[in-house]
Chains A and B, each alone.
Chain A
């Protein structure tokens, strides 16, 4: 398959707000179950080890008309909880047997309780992760939380989840993360060959496909992208930061690229690269998942930085590793995590003399002209700067 065909398939999966792929997967074998998760991170390995399909729910995008969901939220709250409720209330999430709400912010936290009330027949879990990174403190708490999830899902599946199953799932996700890492590295190397608007769709396919199949899609795309010659442009290389929850519309990503930026790193789908390296498949599986989380995972606003010096380190590393020349802060309107973090990151970039620009969007932002203009001006200024 060529990139066009692969991307067409991914785009179809992305646009299908009725989650046909999930339904098909469930229908293929009686008794199969699917568990949804919201941003930002859950250990999908445990869901997979229960024989279930983890399904990433990232709101309704710009195609969903939100009617019922709006009746539950004030105007000053971001859009993802309303569109997610809309998905639920219109029956689009009926194919899910449960939902996990990670500890990303108070909006998603509160949505977990709303879900308990509004979808009483589903398994609903607020999934807390530690903000203390000592194995004996945060680690122990986290292992217990994962154990609880394991027991809950075991009950839902009708049989306990064994260590062996967990290890096998860890191996599956290790492969998936490895493929995603390769894709990221390739995009940073030759962003004209694997534009972010395509990479994004490839990643989003991972929200609904089983991980084994998603890994193949990533690899197939990578292989196809390497063989196709695409025109190289003199674009500015930027990292996009702050879009980890409510997603920008695809047209916004395209607009940034069209305005003269190569997005060489971003944080759209953090769950897929959250753990930075292989999780060992020997040893106690939950402890290994915990260690990876505590000591070898990405930084983002919803995670506490233990020391002042840690702030911005991850972003600086992204910039350095990917050879970026600037940062575009793109946050959902009213997004506390992204918007409270932003001034700290900007301060650090200023110290390092790294240029940045910032704007807000919502998942259904339709007006692209101002963003194109802002990103274009930013790209030009970077080019001028580097020419000077």
Chain B
């Protein structure tokens, strides 16, 4: 799943929208992401090897130890989604024999390859030299890289990260991941890159990671302020950009997060809300927690449905797909490989249902949110299968209203703006009523308000 975007002005609505408002951190972020695409595009000329891996369980510091140029196929897919290029890629992949039922990230990636691997910025991307199959929190990852290997014959190394089925990380799970890192992943990366592994180099990168992680957590938690100075979903996808992709562990990421933090500190001082693509947020009326990834093909239109109504997302689970840092985890330069194992095991989609529900309830409480909204993504069984139970449980436990909408990541065929808008409007209405009746209270003798969910489908 996953990922971070750069906010691209003027790409997501049919009518040309006004250029997006940008602050220094946004410009810096755009520079970083575009810079990485350029690095990938010129990797062959520069005699650099290219790796590809996934955002959850992304071992960026380790890959840097071997001088790889680093590609994140999920990010490529979503960037193509935002630029309205993914629809054709998906259809090309379907014509090439891929089922309409499976994850559209995979199909957008395979479609991009079929179209000659022209990346989101227009430069051609090289075929990876190594696929680091960080098998964390998503079954599709395994098939995705098997599919690429089948077609392009890339060297592939599996890192199997067991699922937290019992809601905890056992010693056995940790040892297993660690052993794979030492005995499989590192030797393969050494072989492909020709660079010998140096653990001190890894420690060095991790020192940078910790700094960026601290500032990222501070940024995301700044949404506890009222009004929130950030949007923890739509805005957060751009905050998580560098750290969830090719930049965790780099001084550039450290700089980005410190600039970002300063900007937000300033906004708090000025009592400002989040920045939206159209400028300052019109004023915080509703504080929401969102579960599930956003839609990318109509990202700005989707976001607008929230800020137009005065809604701010104060926390989202999606902003944790590339690492859950807000409960204390940090990469540890003193135990670098152990902390990589811990990191992979702790990614959001590797958590079990009770953990996910606890986390959402905690967010609702700590961020003083009015309710939960689930954006259920057709592509993604990892996120979506069972989300209706999450909705019921969260409602039952917190008494706060919850709603459910459906869309897809990068397949424009599954974004129905009118439906989503309707449902959001009813939801905001419900939040308002609930507030009037006494926030979160469950008065005796009153049935809780039914959640806004799709009618059960005859299957």
Residues on A facing B (Cβ under 8 Å): 66-67, 70-77, 79, 81-82, 101, 103, 105-107, 109-114, 116-118, 125-128, 130-132, 134, 136-138, 140-141, 144-145, 148, 301-302, 304-306, 308, 311, 333-337, 339-344, 346-347, 360, 362, 364
Q: Are A137 and B179 in contact (CB under 8 A)?
A: yes
B165, B352, B384 interface centre (most CB from chain A within 10 Å): B165
Smallest beta-carbon distance B377→chain A, Å: 10
Q: What B residues does A127 contact at CB under 8 A?
A: 165
Give Cα A374 to B409, complex, Å.
33
Q: What B residues does A113 contact at CB under 8 A?
A: 165, 352-356, 386
Q: What B residues does A114 contact at CB under 8 A?
A: 353, 386, 389
Q: Are B382 and A106 in contact (CB under 8 A)?
A: yes
A74-B454, A126-B165 known; A339 vs B352 contact (CB < 8 Å): no
A116-B352, A131-B135, A304-B158 known; A340 vs B184 contact (CB < 8 Å): no
Give Cα A342 to B150, complex, Å.
12
Q: What A residues does B384 contact at CB under 8 A?
A: 74, 77
Q: Are B143 and A301 in contact (CB under 8 A)?
A: yes
Closest to A338 in B: B99
Q: What A residues does B139 contact at CB under 8 A?
A: 105-106, 109, 302, 336-337
- B375-425 interface with A by 8 A CB criterion: 376, 378, 381-382, 384-389, 393, 406
Q: Are A141 and B175 in contact (CB under 8 A)?
A: yes
Smallest beta-carbon distance A263→chain B, Å: 22
B456 within 8 A of A: yes
Q: Are B354 and A116 in contact (CB under 8 A)?
A: yes
Partner among B160, B176, B183, B381 whose Cβ is within 8 Å of the Cβ of A77: B381
Closest 8 CB pairs of A and B: A113-B353, A126-B165, A340-B143, A141-B176, A131-B160, A75-B457, A339-B99, A144-B172
Q: What A residues does B142 contact at CB under 8 A?
A: 131, 304
Q: Are A73 and B388 in contact (CB under 8 A)?
A: yes
Q: Are A343 and B98 in contact (CB under 8 A)?
A: yes
Give Cα A274 to B88, complex, Å.
40
Give Cα A131 to B165, complex, Å.
16
Q: Are A131 and B140 in contact (CB under 8 A)?
A: no
Give Cα A305 to B458, complex, Å.
36
Q: Are B352 and A74 in contact (CB under 8 A)?
A: no
- B142-198 interface with A by 8 A CB criterion: 142-144, 146-147, 149-150, 153, 156, 158, 160, 162-163, 165-166, 170, 172-173, 175-176, 179-180, 183-184
Smallest beta-carbon distance B427→chain A, Å: 17
Give Cα A103 to B162, complex, Å.
9
Q: Which of B78-86, B100-108, B257-265 contacts its partner?
A: B100-108
Q: Are B163 and A308 in contact (CB under 8 A)?
A: no
Partner among A76, A132, A301 whose Cβ is within 8 Å of the Cβ of B378: A76
| Range, interface on chain B | 35 or more
A116-B354, A137-B184, A304-B133 provided; 11 other pairs, C-beta below 8 A?
A70-B459, A72-B388, A74-B387, A105-B381, A111-B385, A114-B389, A132-B180, A141-B176, A308-B149, A336-B143, A346-B97
Q: Are A341 and B166 in contact (CB under 8 A)?
A: no
Smallest beta-carbon distance B199→chain A, Å: 20
Q: What A residues does B20 contact at CB under 8 A?
A: none
Give Cα A383 to B143, complex, Å.
34
Give Cα A342 to B456, complex, Å.
30
- B85-130 interface with A by 8 A CB criterion: 96-99, 101-103, 106
Q: Are B140 and A340 in contact (CB under 8 A)?
A: yes
Partner among A72, A74, A81, A117 whose Cβ is within 8 Å of the Cβ of B376: A74
Smallest beta-carbon distance B291→chain A, Å: 13
- B317-361 interface with A by 8 A CB criterion: 352-357
B452 within 8 A of A: no
Give Cα A240 to B146, complex, Å.
22
Q: What A residues does B175 contact at CB under 8 A?
A: 140-141
Give Cα A148 to B406, complex, Å.
39
Partner among A118, A126, A132, A148 whose Cβ is within 8 Å of the Cβ of B184: A132
Q: Are A341 and B385 in contact (CB under 8 A)?
A: no
B138 within 8 A of A: yes
Give Cα A137 to B172, complex, Å.
11
Smallest beta-carbon distance B451→chain A, Å: 11
Closest to A147 in B: B172
Smallest beta-carbon distance A116→chain B, Å: 6
Q: What B residues does A75 contact at CB under 8 A?
A: 454, 457, 459
Smallest beta-carbon distance B31→chain A, Å: 35
Smallest beta-carbon distance A126→chain B, Å: 3
Smallest beta-carbon distance A64→chain B, Å: 12
Closest to A112 in B: B165
Q: Are B147 and A110 in contact (CB under 8 A)?
A: no
Q: What B residues does A131 contact at CB under 8 A?
A: 135, 142, 158, 160
Closest to B350 in A: A109
Partner among A105, A311, A340, A362 whose Cβ is within 8 Å of the Cβ of B106: A340
Smallest beta-carbon distance B361→chain A, Å: 13
Partner among A112, A311, A336 whose Cβ is within 8 Å of the Cβ of B150: A311
Smallest beta-carbon distance A91→chain B, Å: 19
Smallest beta-carbon distance B131→chain A, Å: 11
Give Cα A308 to B153, complex, Å.
7
Give Cα A271 to B134, complex, Å.
27
Q: Are A130 and B102 in contact (CB under 8 A)?
A: no
Q: Are A137 and B143 in contact (CB under 8 A)?
A: no
Q: What B residues does A118 contact at CB under 8 A?
A: 389
Give Cα A305 to B158, complex, Å.
10
Partner among A110, A117, A128 whose Cβ is within 8 Å of the Cβ of B381: A110
Q: Are B393 and A117 in contact (CB under 8 A)?
A: yes
Smallest beta-carbon distance A355→chain B, Å: 15
Give Cα A128 to B156, complex, Å.
22
- Can you identify 14 A-B contacts, CB atoms within 8 angstroms? A66-B459, A73-B388, A74-B376, A82-B459, A106-B139, A107-B381, A137-B184, A141-B176, A304-B133, A308-B156, A336-B102, A340-B99, A340-B147, A343-B97
Give Cα A76 to B102, complex, Å.
10
Q: What A residues does B459 contact at CB under 8 A?
A: 66, 70, 73, 75, 79, 82, 362, 364
Q: What B residues does A311 contact at CB under 8 A?
A: 146, 150
Q: What A residues does B173 contact at CB under 8 A?
A: 141
Give Cα A48 to B457, complex, Å.
39
Q: Are B150 and A130 in contact (CB under 8 A)?
A: no
Closest to B456 in A: A70
Smallest beta-carbon distance B47→chain A, Å: 26
Q: Are B381 and A71 in contact (CB under 8 A)?
A: no
Q: What A residues does B382 contact at CB under 8 A?
A: 106, 109-110
Q: Are B385 and A106 in contact (CB under 8 A)?
A: yes
Give Cα A300 to B130, complex, Å.
24
Give Cα A74 to B165, complex, Å.
23
Q: What A residues does B172 contact at CB under 8 A?
A: 141, 144-145, 148
Smallest beta-carbon distance A178→chain B, Å: 31
Give Cα A162 to B175, complex, Å.
26
Q: Are A339 and B102 in contact (CB under 8 A)?
A: yes
Q: Are A137 and B176 in contact (CB under 8 A)?
A: yes
Give Cα A340 to B458, complex, Å.
25
Smallest beta-carbon distance B382→chain A, Å: 4
Q: What A residues does B184 contact at CB under 8 A?
A: 132, 137
Smallest beta-carbon distance A365→chain B, Å: 11
Closest to B391 in A: A72
Using an 8 Å CB-CB cutoff, how does the interface string of B208-241 with A read, 1 for contact, 0 for none?
A: 0000000000000000000000000000000000
Give Cα A364 to B458, complex, Å.
11
Q: Are A111 and B158 in contact (CB under 8 A)?
A: no
Give Cα A101 to B153, complex, Å.
33
